[in-house]
A and B are shown apart, each in its own frame.
Chain A
Amino acid sequence: MAVRSTRHRRWLRKTTLGIAGLVGFLTVWQLIPTLGIVDAQYLPHVTDVAVRLVNELRDLAFWRRLGDTMTAWAIGLAIASSAAVALGTVVGLVPFLRRATHTTVEFLRPIPSVALIPLAVLMFGIRMQAALVIIVFASFWQVFVQVIYGVADIDAVARDTARSFGLTRRAQLRHLVLPTALPYLMTGLRLAAAVALILAITAEMVIGNPGLGRMIELSRSAGDAVGLYALVVVTGLLGLTINIVFRFIERRTLSWHQSIRGEEVL
């Protein structure tokens, strides 16, 4: 009972702090145009944006656009992470491959994937496939690098033990590699999910394939700051939701791991 009440108190404090931070942010935003620091024409009042946001939520066209964006996000993330897990495991387990690819990976990884947009459009036109190229390229590295490190991080004693117990390759993968690499993989996935969202929206803004990003560009080219910020708020909320969902998955799949268990005891 005592444990429960301290946990409850901590949860309450965390929530209160979170709400206070949000209210503070919204107040500052509201004050900036009200005090005339920035003209309300360029940075609209929070209240106007909120009204527009509610109107957008009632518009089916908005949900279709949201669906377009999230479809590109989900497909892109799925392709990127499955490819990264497969390749990352192989490369991470074979020291020769790891050394052979290291320089190439470090060269490719920092290339801003937005720079590939002209190539993607030339290959696929003004379609979601072009956006997928950008999304997959950017989020692939997030998972790939984490998987390589995760797979290589196997404890030497544990490995020797597994060997002396005569575990098969398959059993080693299941009982040795997977538990070691999983925390890395989950971190990689969470980062990749956020990066994929950023690039899904960027691609729509630049390429013009349907989605929230294109709506943002249309609002901008019409000088409609209220609509623009309403959509920007939506993208922020999306990012937040994705982060919460992935943290939840992370906590569930790693409930046995000390990084998660430790958090509860503290």
Chain B
Amino acid sequence: MKKTLAVGVIASLAIVLSGCTDSEATPTPGSTDSDLRPVRVAALPITETAALWGGIAAGIFERHGLAVEVLPAQGGAYAIPAMINGDIEFTVGQPFGPFRADLQDLGVVMIGNYASSYADGEDINAVVASAASGITRPAELAGRKVSVNSLGAAGDVTIMAAVEADGGDPSTIEFVEVPFPDVPAQLEAGNIDAGWVPEPFVTALVSRGDTLVVYPYQATIPGLPTLTTFTTTALIERDADLVADFAAAMKETLEWAQDPANETAVRQAIKDNLELPEAVADTVKLPEFGWELDRASMEELAELAVKYGVLDRMPNFDRLIQQH
């Protein structure tokens, strides 16, 4: 018994003496500065969030008097309840969260855009079919099993629209919910015929021989916003200055991230915050960052959602969208 203990102590000492590292050693600048107002922001732990992380590291929020803490909100399901409860101030997330919140009169307001897909060229997400499925074009997705990360959102809505535009029957598509990281394994196992995935999975799948079927956003609403920034009417009424300062900092951050000169810093933010392999972080396609909300595209998306029965009715866009 004593011997085992001694071996354990020696082993742990060896580990300690061989040098500890601290992967979080980059201290958040000015976190000790009491003049800064604390702000908690929920964002998805995905490569797109690099602009926000990068902007914080570059000190943009600090210049606007804000100390931002980013919380990874899985799927964003708990971001809106936490925001209504007052635990967090802002959320960067997909537009369907605010759409539904508005339909339920939860007092959620979109104050700015965050990231958008590309109107032409390679887009940031795609439907990829396994080679075995033989699917090559959108119409052939009809009657097949297609995965999206969450049902009843921009993924299945735009896929249905793309299939219909190509002459297929969108009502026959069998949608299943598969988290993005699990799609490669599910495609390989044959449990799904095609999957909707963002980068870096698109590149990984295509390079192993799967077929890129369609960019559903580009095919349906070119340049569709993928992530928007939202908060609550309660916060706007309570602390309009905070919202204004945050909006100004976000605008500056997104312009900073969009500037090709800062791409290295943005990609460094991916490496600092996500456990992605270096090579992936260096090559993954980034979206178009920008603060101006594209209301027309979002109304079009909501109309499609109503048409396909994903939403009961149109959200009140006059109330929902308040560009800051």
Contact = CB atoms under 8 A, between A and B. Distances in A.
Interface string B222-263: 000000000000000000000000000000000000000000
B19 interface: yes
Contact of B85 (A122, A207, A220, A224): A122
B181 A121 contact: no
Interface stretch (A28-36, A59-67, A135-143): A59-67
A37 to B, nearest CB: 13
Interface stretch (B73-81, B109-117, B121-129): B73-81
B33 interface: no
A217 interface: yes
B279 interface: no
Interface string A193-237: 000000000000111100000100111111110010000000000
A227 B40 CA distance: 27
Contacts of B46: 221
B230 to A, nearest CB: 16
Contacts of B317: none
Contacts of A222: 45, 181, 274-276
Contact of B21 (A41, A60, A126, A223): A60
Contacts of A217: 45, 72, 74
Given A122-B84, A218-B275, A208 B15 contact: no
Given A58-B15, A125-B82, A219 B23 contact: no
B20 A126 contact: no
Contact of B24 (A60, A218, A220, A227): A60
B9 interface: no
* Chain A interface, >50% SS class: helix
A208 B20 CA distance: 26
A208 B41 CA distance: 13
B174 interface: no
B134 interface: no
A117 B87 CA distance: 15
Interface residues of A, number: 33
A224 B201 CA distance: 13
A221 B179 contact: yes
B42 to A, nearest CB: 7
A42 interface: yes
Given A58-B21, A64-B24, A206-B74, A221 B87 contact: no
B6 interface: no
A57 B22 contact: no
A71 B84 CA distance: 27
Interface residues of B, number: 38
B24 A208 contact: no
A126 B181 contact: no
Given A59-B23, A222-B181, A126 B45 contact: no
A208 B21 contact: no
A206 B179 CA distance: 14
Contacts of A64: 24
B56 to A, nearest CB: 17
A265 interface: no
Given A42-B185, A118-B81, A61 B276 contact: no
Interface in A74-108: none
A206 B73 CA distance: 9
Contacts of B78: 117-118, 121, 126, 206-208
A123 B85 contact: yes
Nearest to A207: B78
A127 B40 CA distance: 11
A54 B11 CA distance: 11
B163 interface: no
B71 interface: yes
25 contacts: A41-B184, A54-B15, A58-B19, A59-B22, A60-B20, A60-B21, A60-B24, A118-B81, A121-B81, A121-B82, A125-B82, A126-B71, A126-B73, A126-B78, A127-B87, A207-B78, A208-B72, A214-B72, A217-B74, A222-B45, A222-B274, A223-B184, A224-B276, A224-B277, A227-B275
Interface of A: 39, 41-42, 54, 57-61, 64, 117-118, 121-127, 205-208, 214, 217-224, 227
Given A60-B23, A126-B88, 20 more contacts: A41-B184, A58-B20, A60-B25, A61-B23, A117-B78, A121-B85, A122-B84, A125-B87, A206-B74, A207-B78, A208-B72, A218-B72, A221-B74, A221-B179, A221-B180, A221-B181, A222-B45, A222-B275, A224-B276, A224-B277
